[in-house]
Amino acid sequence: MNFTQMHERLRVELLRRIERGTVSVSLLARQTGFGKSHLSNFLHNRGQLSLEAMDRMLAAQHLAAADLLPATCNSSQWRTHEESGAVPLVSHNAALFDPHIRPTAVQSMLHLPPKALNGLRSRATPARRAWQRFVAVRISPSDALPMDPLVLPEALAVIDRHYNSLIPYRPSRPNLCAVRDGAHLTLRYADYLSTRLVLRPLSIKFPVDLIELGPAASPGEYIAGRVVLIINEP
């Protein structure tokens, strides 16, 4: 990959982060010291960054040059990892938005018994089936409280991103879903009512949350996947 291609991939990645609300032009300006107009020109393809400026931008956004390379992990490699019980532990942001988990996004590997994830049924759109299937995330104490005692502080949740449907996996039992609420990942029982995604906690001490969907949006766009395993560490 040459400099021009790397430059374009960085621009597209930053636009993607701005669109999903995890960064803004103002924040980029504070992080890098660049002027907003300079950043705007870059983001709208009206100007280029120097190599030094690109290095500063990568450092500010905790990116490595390898993160700009095309994903090389194919479905056969994913199946090999799944069969061995290896699941990447990633950030909530990566679980929500990244179709392919790059090595630099992996915080550690969660090792389950071999073939522990085999045989799980999927239910997803064709586009979602192209995503790397299983990821794990850590649940903070504040995020765990609404689902206590099912989910305890610092629990690990394994998410099947090939199941973003509200149809129950098991009859009469609601799916525990990893759901996008803004730019945040939350674990809830999810239903769809009228134009709203209804997020229900386990604990009655916490309210039911509603996400108003746009006219062209579907509930599956907000569901990162079905939680297939909770590991509550002692």
Q: Maximum distance among all alpha carbons in the chain? A: 58
Tokens coding 10: 């960085």
**For residue 32, what pLDDT is reported?**
92
Runs of H (alpha helix) within 20-115: 25-32, 36-43, 51-60, 75-84, 92-97
Cα gap 101→7, rounded to integer Å: 21
The pTM (predicted TM-score) of the whole model is 0.75
Q: Where are the domains of the chain?
A: 3-68, 75-231
Query: What are the pLDDT digits (tens) for 45-83?
Result: 888 888 889 999 988 888 877 777 765 554 556 666 667
**For residue 231, what pLDDT is reported?**
95
Tokens coding 172: 């009469």
Query: What are the pLDDT digits (tens) for 27-44?
Result: 999 999 999 999 999 998
All residue ranges of the chain with pLDDT < 70 are: 1, 70-82, 234
SS3 225: strand
Determine the topology of domain 3-68 in CATH: 434 Repressor (Amino-terminal Domain) (1.10.260)
Write the CB contacts of 198 (distance below 8 Å, at least 6 apart in sequence): 190, 191, 192, 208, 209, 210
Residue 28: other Cβ atoms inside 10 A? 22
Q: What values do phi and psi take at 191, rounded to 5?
A: -135, 165
Cα gap 146→208, rounded to integer Å: 10
**For residue 12, what pLDDT is reported?**
85
**For residue 115, what pLDDT is reported?**
83
The residue among 171, 211, 214 whose CA lies nearest residue 190 is: 211
- b/e per residue 86-122 (b: at least 16 CB within 10 A): ebbbbbbbbbbbbeebbeebeeeebebeeebbeeeee
**For residue 2, what pLDDT is reported?**
76
We find that the CATH architecture of domain 75-231 is Ribbon (2.10)
SS3 181: strand
The residue among 203, 159, 212 whose CA lies nearest residue 181 is: 212
